[in-house]
Structure 1
Amino acid sequence: MPPRIVRFARAVPLEILTRIRLPRTHGGRIALALAVVYLAWGSAYLAVHVALESFPPLLLSGLRNLIAGIGLLALATRRSFVWPTLVETRNAGIVGTMLVGFSSGLLAFGMRSVGTGTAAVMVATVPLFATVISAVAGRPIAKGEWVAVALGLLGIFILNRGDTSSSSTSGTIVILCAALFWAAGAHLASRLALPSDLFVSTALQIGLGGAISTLIAVAGGERVASLGFGPLFAFLYLMIIATMAAYVAYGFLIRHTSPIVASSCMYVNPIVAVGLGAMTLGEPVTGATLVSTVVILASVALSFWFDRRRAG
């Protein structure tokens, strides 16, 4: 683990976390939620990179989501809510398997041979896969939306050509599959009946998805051989910040802002991930990385622009 990350982890006093207070204004809470989503999910790629030093990929994804789901459900029981039906619970398990079991698991697996910034840029193609899935499901797609898909594929090609790692091709394919499963899971979430309480729905999705991932990982022989301070800190960060806090913040944005604002993390996360990868891991920021980042983010922005026109 890089020394700079170790020094940062040991320098975070617990009293800072316990003194955090929510803003009193509605606008301040939206700004805080955006900051949490941007920083938590943008830095999650670095945390996964560090955690993989001790945790196998599928077990890492399963355990952190399982424990986070249990934690969120425990918090939810302290509020007044209606328990979900068996059908809603089943549907939450299906969506969670797609988003957590397949998507997060494949992302961690692919990042064993792909850099943090590269992985974040490729995950930004989720809206493009969502466009294709919508077309297959019967929604009419404008020509400009297909242009956005083509731009995204071009950006991926440039990114892969500029990646000098030995296993970049296989890692790229795995991470693209993770993005595809995330888009498919999000599509199912908009079609299936889920618990009306967003807090409970989120807890069930990540908890059940994490449970399935953990069972598959254990059955497949994945084990934690040795656990150092760095990977343990990264695991706790992923569980508490990148899962529990980020999902709650994202749910708040979904309820109190437009989908365009809530989904703006697609633009910011790759920038955060590339910057952190360069500063802490010494990952090179090549010309191909910069060009592909611009092309892919432009394709995502174009997809959102057409989606906004359609909604208007």
Structure 2
Amino acid sequence: MPPRLPRFARAVPFDILMRIRPPRSHGGRVALALTVVYLAWGSSYLAVHVALESFPPLLLSGLRNVIAGIGLFFLATRRTFVWPTAAEIRNAGIVGTMLICFSSGMLAFGMRSVGTGTAAVMVATVPLFATIISAIAGRPIAKGEWVAVGLGLLGIFILNHGDTSNSSTSGTIVILGAALFWAVGAHLASQLALPADLFLSTALQIGLGGAISTLIALAGGERVGSLGFGSVFAFVYLMFVATMAAYVAYGFLIRHTSPIVASSCMYVNPIVAVALGAVTLGERVTGATYVSTGVILASVALSFWFDRRRAA
């Protein structure tokens, strides 16, 4: 029998969430998952920008993920629940550390000096890092795929050259590091044994990763500043939409679609982020932004095309 939940976990919001039923067809579920990931993670850059007004970067990443992980764990216990093995918990902690502690934490840190649209474009290099990791792991890489990697790096150079902020160089390096750790975490998630239940697997990854991130942030002296309505609203949005909903949707895509489909969010997110940053924050969209965006998205699309040819 699943463990009995505390009273607050049996509150109405959880009951409402459990009564929500996804589309019955496979295509409908894939479309719903893609929509959630595109919109949630595309808008998360704006939400992080607003939340950073009150939350330090590593603590922001840690708190929202550890709370979301606890919430997803309680949802998992309402389903057909099977306790994970020690190896599965360890593996989930490793993957969560890469995705949450390192990747999300570094992204939030870098966005203190990099605009939302610029950050989203740089994160679009995740598939390119994944190509490099695959080569290191022993998969043969075609020459065209290396051309795609070169295009991506050229796009980053153009983007950074057109950024006039004082800390753009350091912010760019940090965000590129976040993209690299995301690619490493995604690779490990496909190689390590994780719980079969999607909710439980996601809960352990983001919960353990968030807990490690929170502990490091507190040990480093990070503390929450004065809370404003905007930053609190952004934090809640990040916790429920960009973490709980989006990570479950992304996990579904990883399990039930091709890597090309699942990774498509990495080049759709910049379009959403640039549009929201320009409309709501008045971020300047320069010619370098347009050129670098086109070059980076072309490089990602080229790498996906070669991956599709290899699969065929």
TM-score w.r.t. length of structure 2: 0.91
Which residue of the partner structure matches residue 119 of structure 2?
119
CA apart distance, 1:23: 4.3
Which residue of the partner structure matches residue 33 of structure 1?
33
- In 1, Cα distance between equivalents of 2:206 and 2:172: 24
**Range that drifts further, 128-137 or 65-74:** 128-137
State whether residues 72 and 199 of structure 2, in contact with CA within 8 Å, keep that contact through their aligned partners in structure 1.
yes
CA apart distance, 1:29: 3.2
- In 2, Cα distance between equivalents of 1:153 and 1:198: 34
CA apart distance, 1:26: 4.2
CA apart distance, 1:24: 5.3
- In 1, Cα distance between equivalents of 2:93 and 2:126: 21
Percent of aligned positions that are identical: 86
- Relative distance call for 1:239 and 1:180 in structure 2 (3 A) is same
Which residue of the partner structure matches residue 48 of structure 1?
48
Q: Secondary structure at the match of 1:190?
A: helix
- In 2, Cα distance between equivalents of 1:35 and 1:133: 28
State whether residues 127 and 263 of structure 2, in contact with CA within 8 Å, keep that contact through their aligned partners in structure 1.
no
Superposition pairs of residues 61-100 of structure 1, within 5 angstroms: 61-100=61-100
CA apart distance, 1:20: 7.9
User: Which 4+ residue blocks in structure 1 deviate beyond 6 angstroms?
Assistant: 17-21
- In 2, Cα distance between equivalents of 1:191 and 1:29: 25
CA apart distance, 1:103: 0.3
**Superposed CA offset, 1:4-60 (max 9, x none):** xxxxxxxxxx9xx99987545543333222211111000000000000000000000
Q: Secondary structure at the match of 2:138?
A: coil
State whether residues 65 and 209 of structure 2, in contact with CA within 8 Å, keep that contact through their aligned partners in structure 1.
yes
Q: Secondary structure at the match of 2:200?
A: helix
Which residue of the partner structure matches residue 166 of structure 2?
166
Which residue of the partner structure matches residue 5 of structure 1?
none
Q: Secondary structure at the match of 1:114?
A: coil
- In 1, Cα distance between equivalents of 2:251 and 2:21: 19
CA apart distance, 1:295: 0.4
- In 1, Cα distance between equivalents of 2:93 and 2:127: 22
**Range that drifts further, 256-265 or 60-69:** 256-265
Count of residue correspondences: 297
Superposition pairs of residues 132-281 of structure 1, within 5 angstroms: 132-281=132-281
Counterpart amino acid of residue 303 in structure 1? S
Give unpaired runs (5+ residues) of structure 1: 1-13
**Range that drifts further, 53-62 or 260-269:** 260-269
Which residue of the partner structure matches residue 283 of structure 1?
283
- In 2, Cα distance between equivalents of 1:211 and 1:254: 24
Q: Secondary structure at the match of 2:164?
A: coil
Which residue of the partner structure matches residue 9 of structure 1?
none
- In 1, Cα distance between equivalents of 2:140 and 2:229: 51
**Range that drifts further, 35-44 or 24-33:** 24-33
**Range that drifts further, 29-38 or 209-218:** 29-38
Counterpart amino acid of residue 201 in structure 1? S
**Superposed CA offset, 1:237-284 (max 9, x none):** 000000001111222223333332222111210000000000000001
State whether residues 37 and 249 of structure 2, in contact with CA within 8 Å, keep that contact through their aligned partners in structure 1.
yes
Give unpaired runs (5+ residues) of structure 2: 1-12
- In 2, Cα distance between equivalents of 1:161 and 1:132: 24
**Superposed CA offset, 1:189-245 (max 9, x none):** 122222122221111000000000000001111001211100000000000000001
Which residue of the partner structure matches residue 4 of structure 1?
none
Counterpart amino acid of residue 33 in structure 1? A
Counterpart amino acid of residue 167 in structure 1? S
**Range that drifts further, 53-62 or 76-85:** 76-85
CA RMSD of aligned residues (A): 1.7
Counterpart amino acid of residue 90 in structure 2? R
Counterpart amino acid of residue 206 in structure 1? I
Q: Secondary structure at the match of 1:112?
A: coil
CA apart distance, 1:304: 1.1
- In 2, Cα distance between equivalents of 1:195 and 1:78: 16
Q: Secondary structure at the match of 2:221?
A: coil
Which residue of the partner structure matches residue 58 of structure 1?
58
- In 1, Cα distance between equivalents of 2:253 and 2:137: 27
Q: Secondary structure at the match of 2:84?
A: coil
Q: Secondary structure at the match of 2:191?
A: coil
State whether residues 116 and 273 of structure 2, in contact with CA within 8 Å, keep that contact through their aligned partners in structure 1.
yes
TM-score w.r.t. length of structure 1: 0.91
- In 1, Cα distance between equivalents of 2:140 and 2:29: 36
Counterpart amino acid of residue 244 in structure 1? M
Which residue of the partner structure matches residue 309 of structure 1?
309
Counterpart amino acid of residue 126 in structure 2? V
